[in-house]
Amino acid sequence: MNAVSSWFGGFIWTGQTVAFFLLAVLVVLAAVTLLQFRKVMHMALSIGLVFLGMAGMYVLLGADFLAFAQILIYAGAITILMLFAIMLTRHDEVEEEERAGFRQWIAGLGAAALGAVMLWAIRTTAWPPASAQPPWPAQKSVNALAETLFTGYVVPFELVSVLLTVALVGAVILARKEE
């Protein structure tokens, strides 16, 4: 009893936590409906919603620049690109015969177990009290990001260019092969 209440208890209901839960519910719902939709167009739209929700999360965490980039690139560019691709190509409705549930049940159980363990791990950890100050002032997050990227993480930053090239070329090759 105590253990369970300690998992869920101890929230301070501030505006931030309310916003967090609203966004969390939005993201989870959008992700779940994404899997349930039959039409590709609907799927693309709901993934856009997921991206938007995540941007909201970043704002809550004080990562303004990241939130901005998220909206610009993911919610904007990528979702739009997907919509274009869908509109320009032929797409049948994916009729998935509902094979009732043994696998779904197991998957659900597994996911629930995983979620429970994670929740348990997080809630039972004695976290240090959150510092009042965020690690950097909100308006400086761009600078902080840039500095980290170009000093400590310059090697992976450069390597990402190789990764992106590979992904791009790979997509082209696989798409061309289909013709």
- Select the residue interacting with other proteins from 12, 126, 130, 132 (CB under 8 A): 126
- In the region spanning residues 144 to 173, those forming contacts with other proteins, defined by CB under 8 A, are 147, 150-156, 159-160, 162-163, 165-167, 169-170, 173
- In the region spanning residues 31 to 90, those forming contacts with other proteins, defined by CB under 8 A, are none
Residues 162, 167, 171, CA angle at the centre, nearest 5°?
150
Nearest-approach distance from CB 99 to other proteins, in angstroms: 9
Residues 6+ apart with CB under 8 A from 92: none
Asked whether position 28 contacts other proteins by CB under 8 A, the answer is no
* Dist. CA 125–CA 118, nearest whole Å: 11
- Select the residue interacting with other proteins from 5, 100, 103, 133 (CB under 8 A): 103
- Select the residue interacting with other proteins from 24, 94, 101, 137 (CB under 8 A): 94
Q: Which residues bind other proteins (CB under 8 A)?
A: 94, 96, 103, 106-107, 110-111, 113-114, 117-118, 120-122, 124-126, 143, 147, 150-156, 159-160, 162-163, 165-167, 169-170, 173-174, 176-177
